[in-house]
Chain A
Amino acid sequence: MAQTQVQVPAKMTLFHRKRRFRLLDIITYLLLGVFLCTSLAPFIFSFFSSFKTFAHILDYPPSLFPNPWTWGNYATILRNGNFPRWLLNSFIFAGGTMIFNVLFSSMAGYALARMRFSGRRLIFLTTLAVMLIPLPITMIPKFLMVSSLGLVNTYFALLLPFMAQPFSVFIMVQFFKSLPREMEEAALIDGASYYRTFFQIILPLVKPALIAVAILSFQGAWNEFSWSLLVLNSPDMYTLPIGLLFFKGAHYTEYNLLLAGSMFNTIPLLVLFFILQRYFIRGIATVGLKG
């Protein structure tokens, strides 16, 4: 009697706990599934709808697949002579930003993480502080500066403010700090200069960080809107986001064209993201690891 009384509750709690675990797992995956749908649906529906005709783009109830299917929207867009040029400008802006930002922020990050000099702490704290300055605060003064230098409507004006970004410097510092000291010390003792040590020994060791900074800065510039809007003022200089804004003005309710146009801005980046996603995620997650 006494034995069963002890055993039954023990068994029940065990059973109970197991069931609750399963239930919790089911709820977890169910919720994740819901968020999966909300994350994906707008892309899927707009992608397929970019092949719909003007007559069917606002059908109610809406259908997922176009009927009839048309390439006409893309043909119309490519016939607009500026579109290829906007794509090219976007690649130049994003590529240029990427190259300069990777180079400058890795150099700065190396100095801040691995060298002892006076002013180091101040510069690092300033880097953290300026990340919290709202960007639009500097929008007007920056524009007036660029304008008085006569740089408005040039690639240079577009690129300059993004060539060395504090957030990238911060990511690089975090990565450089995690490297063992021995390798660079050996190199320095062997008489290699700081510059050779940096370019030949250190940089190859932080390749994942370089890739993370590269794609984050490419993405940032590819998607950049407000600064480009201020400094670009002729259609041949527009980047894709600015082009799309004016394209929207010209085709106000032709949602079929607007959707097709937005695919040009979306798809290249999504391809890049799927190929390099672990670097994206690693770069962002550094913030969480050592906030």
Chain B
Amino acid sequence: MPEAPTSSTSVAAYIFLSPYLILLSVFTIFAVLYGLFLSFFTVDIGISAPVFVGFRNYVTLWNQLFYSGGVGDFWIAMLNGLKFAVVVVSGQTALALLLALLLHRITFLKGVFRTIFYLPAVTSSIAISLIFIWLYTPQGFINYWLSLLHISGPRWLEDPATALFAIMLLNIWTTAPTFMLFFLGALEGIPQQFYEAAVVDGGNRSRIFWHITLPLLRPIIFLVVALGTISSFQVFDQVKIMTEGGPLQSTLTPVYEMYTTAFGDDKFGLAAAMSVLLFLIIFAITSLQRRFIDTDLQY
């Protein structure tokens, strides 16, 4: 029975909360609103004062859709972001779920496997990127291993056709372990009675998986897909250190484009407008995902 709020409790609670609330309000809530506000201005650093321009930044981005030689950089970046999200989210979700299901079956050496699988997720994206620049060189280890399977490897990061895919693979490798732990936690949380009831009813392995396990995992699948989508659209570190958006803009991602627009071209207002559009697109996609992965399942 929860007691009614008393004023001394409220005061104590807000004292406990104050550092968090202050930082959250300033660096997240205010920052989001300030970003929205900035998108209606031209802003540069140290040259002139901000000027209100209405929707001009948005119009500029809209017009980039109809350049004579194809779409402008921002939309190339958005398209790359979309490709990246589709491949990485499906790859990491499937791999994470597979690893979790495999680990959930075993007891012997389970802890060892889990620990080692998590290694790629612990390591810094910069160190990993430096390591993979070397592994991806045309005469590097990855192509050597492929040659053992009689596959002649591509020039990975140097070829516009494969550079984005190379970064996608790297990303799946580093993000799947975290989501594996999400799934493992969820699998361990499924009450044993469900399985017992299914076995009594004569359900076989695959039926149990499709009709019991998978539906019960829906909320966590949505969480993984949503978090994966959000992080796919913000990939930046690997692009900055491995390819700088190239070759031929094949790895230009939305956040990298925002970064160069703001800090390279000194157009902070335009970059803020890009971030607002990016936010709206991500929000729309995750809302759609929520509708398709029906999460209103309670047990």
Contacts and interface: CB of A to CB of B under 8 A. Distances in A.
B114 A28 contact: no
Interface in B138-185: 139-141, 144, 173, 177-178, 181-185
Interface residues of B, number: 99
Contacts of A117: 5, 9-10, 13-14
A142 interface: yes
Contacts of B130: 244, 248, 258-259, 261-262
Interface residues of A, number: 99
A137 B134 contact: no
A60 B145 CA distance: 11
Interface in A140-194: 140-145, 147, 160-161, 163-164, 166, 169, 193-194
A164 B34 contact: no
B119 A273 contact: yes
Given A132-B226, A139-B258, A140-B38, A245 B240 contact: yes
A198 B288 CA distance: 42
Interface stretch (B24-32, B65-73, B194-202, B207-215): B24-32
B286 interface: yes
Interface of A: 24-25, 28-29, 31-32, 35-36, 38-43, 45-46, 49, 57-58, 60-62, 103-105, 107-108, 110-112, 115-118, 120, 123, 126-127, 130, 132-145, 147, 160-161, 163-164, 166, 169, 193-195, 198, 219, 222-223, 225-226, 229-230, 240-241, 244-245, 248, 255, 258-259, 261-263, 265-266, 269-270, 273-274, 277, 280-281, 284-291
Interface in B104-131: 105-106, 113-120, 122-128, 130-131
A281 to B, nearest CB: 6
Contact of B102 (A31, A107, A195, A263): A31
B16 A110 contact: yes
A141 B31 contact: yes
Interface string B265-280: 0001001100110110
The 4 closest A-B pairs by CB, nearest first: A288-B185, A285-B185, A223-B124, A108-B20
Interface of B: 2-5, 9-10, 12-14, 16-17, 19-21, 23-24, 26-32, 34-35, 38, 43, 45, 98-99, 102-103, 105-106, 113-120, 122-128, 130-135, 137, 139-141, 144, 173, 177-178, 181-189, 219-220, 223, 226-227, 230-231, 233-234, 236-237, 240-241, 255, 258-259, 262-263, 268, 271-272, 275-276, 278-279, 282, 286
B35 A140 contact: yes
B22 to A, nearest CB: 8
Contacts of A110: 16
Given A39-B120, A108-B17, A226-B237, 6 more contacts: A45-B135, A105-B20, A135-B234, A222-B124, A244-B130, A258-B133
Contact of A141 (B9, B35, B102, B259): B35
A262 B241 CA distance: 12
Contact of B189 (A28, A161, A288): A288
Given A58-B140, A137-B275, A269-B123, A291 B134 contact: no
A187 B274 CA distance: 53
Nearest to B255: A136
